[in-house]
Amino acid sequence: RGFSLLNARLRILKTAKLPPSNITKEEMAAIHSLKNNREITILPADKGRTTVIMDTEQYEKQMNEMLQDRNTYEVLKRDPTEAKKRKLKTILKQLQEEKKIETYNHLIPTASIIPRIYGTPKIHKPGAPLRPIIDSMGSVTYNLSKFISFFLFVHLVLTHFSSFAYLLFSPQVDGNLE
């Protein structure tokens, strides 16, 4: 039953038609032209849901200057990805054997890539310095991070809900609300 439901959904998705475009062919060509222009870098601003177009040389210069700060960043002699992957697998395996986790297969890193850094311009500050953003999608700890994030979110929601329920249903609080 579950498999046929999945097949039905896939069939619907395959036969679905895209909605008509809300931009003209000329506008689409302009977007492609900007996207393919190596002299400019298009990125989101740090705040304000704004798109920023920067000179690529200026963007790369600012990123390189930021990465030269040896108090914040360090040059690694070799890629630590495989060593971190082995260590994480060992820890997860131990947790599984101790029956502390049941989701071992979902947490183990697969084809891991090195996290990437990019900068978003702080357009609300003079000179629009870049805020460093680390994109860890696909990295060694990505699956584990998603799991912990979900666990913390659920815990936070349940904690707030139980506090709210306490306020609603507690006889001590009830008399103080009038």
Average of per-residue pLDDT values in the chain: 86
Q: Of 51-55, 133-137, 164-168, where does mean pLDDT reach its minimum? A: 164-168
> Residue 177: is its pLDDT beyond 50?
no
Closest CA to 131 of 47, 36, 38: 47
pLDDT, tens only, 61-118: 999 999 999 999 999 999 999 999 999 999 999 999 999 888 888 888 877 888 999 9
At residue 178 the predicted structure's pLDDT band, cuts being 50, 70 and 90, is very low
CA separation, residue 162 to residues 155, 158, 166, 177 (Å) = 10, 6, 6, 18
CB count within 10 Å of CB 119 equals: 21
